[in-house]
């Protein structure tokens, strides 16, 4: 076997091993049940309600901050159904609006819809955490790509929500978001 073929085979095996390892360790291996019983309990009807200030950064594929943002959010619940608006302002001067429709099942399962989602998002609240997975279509000026997103939100003891999200294309992480969310007193 020639040297190039051996190197290529080694690279493919290494990438495959890394991909498998990611599924069983770190961010991708978390499950809502890992947070069962942890306090404070994250009830999205209470914590994601009314006006919310969100501040965060987006990291690119090389791990450097590529964007900073502030978002004004407002969530209105009627029973287990919510309409949540988001108005983002990025450091580039760009703005983005999104309207989510969230439905919470009695078992903690969450269903999420928004105009820029490809299909329906699904997640779960458990203990001090909320997980949500969905596919989002980027705006045309950002390439129009559809990315797979995993959001994890963790409730801190002071009521602040820490949000960490990973964005993947073909299973490869292309961006990560870290943000805080705090309810605003009206």
- pLDDT tens for each residue of 146-182: 999 999 999 999 999 999 999 999 999 999 999 999 9
89 token code pair: 């302002």
* Residue 57: pLDDT band with limits 50, 70, 90: very high
> How far is Cα 31 from Cα 97, in angstroms, rounded to an integer?
29
Give 123-133 pLDDT, tens digit per residue.
Answer: 999 999 999 99
Q: Is the confidence at residue 37, as pLDDT, over 60?
A: yes
Domain with CATH 2.40.128.20 in the chain: 31-183
Q: How confident is the model at residue 22 (pLDDT cuts 50, 70, 90)?
A: low
Closest CA to 71 of 92, 46, 98: 98
Nearest 5°: the CA angle 56, 166, 173 is: 125
Q: What is the pLDDT of residue 35?
A: 79
Across the range 71-100, mean pLDDT stands at 97
End-to-end CA distance of the chain, in Å? 70
The pLDDT score that the predictor gives to residue 67 is 96
Structure tokens at 11: 């690279």
What global pTM score does this model have? 0.82
Whether the per-residue pLDDT at 82 is higher than 60: the answer is yes
Q: Are 156 and 163 in contact (CB under 8 A)?
A: no
145 pLDDT more than 70:
yes
**Residues 133/137/138/143 CA torsion (nearest 10 deg):** 130
pLDDT of residue 18: 47
Paired with 125 in beta bridges are 130
Top CATH class, 31-183: mainly beta
From 85-89, 112-116, 152-156, 169-173, the region with the lowest mean pLDDT: 169-173
Pairing relation of β-strands 161-169 and 95-104? unpaired
């Amino acid at each position: 076997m020639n040297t190039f073929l051996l190197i290529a085979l080694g690279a493919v095996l290494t990438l495959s091993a890394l991909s498998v390892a990611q599924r069983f360790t770190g961010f991708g291996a978390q499950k809502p049940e890992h947070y069962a019983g942890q306090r404070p309990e994250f009830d999205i009807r209470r914590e994601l309600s009314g006006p919310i200030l969100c501040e965060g950064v987006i990291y690119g594929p090389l791990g450097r901050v590529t964007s900073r943002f502030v978002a004004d959010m407002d969530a209105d619940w009627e029973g287990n159904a919510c309409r949540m608006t988001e108005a983002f302002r990025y450091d580039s001067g760009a703005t983005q609006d999104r309207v989510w429709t969230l439905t919470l099942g009695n078992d903690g399962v969450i269903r999420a819809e928004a105009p820029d989602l490809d299909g329906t998002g699904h997640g779960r609240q458990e203990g001090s955490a909320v997980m949500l997975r969905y596919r989002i279509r980027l705006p045309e000026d950002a390439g129009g790509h559809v990315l797979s997103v995993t959001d994890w939100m963790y409730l801190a003891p002071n009521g602040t929500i820490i949000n960490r999200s990973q964005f993947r294309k073909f299973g490869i992480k292309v961006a990560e978001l870290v943000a805080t969310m705090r309810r605003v007193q009206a």
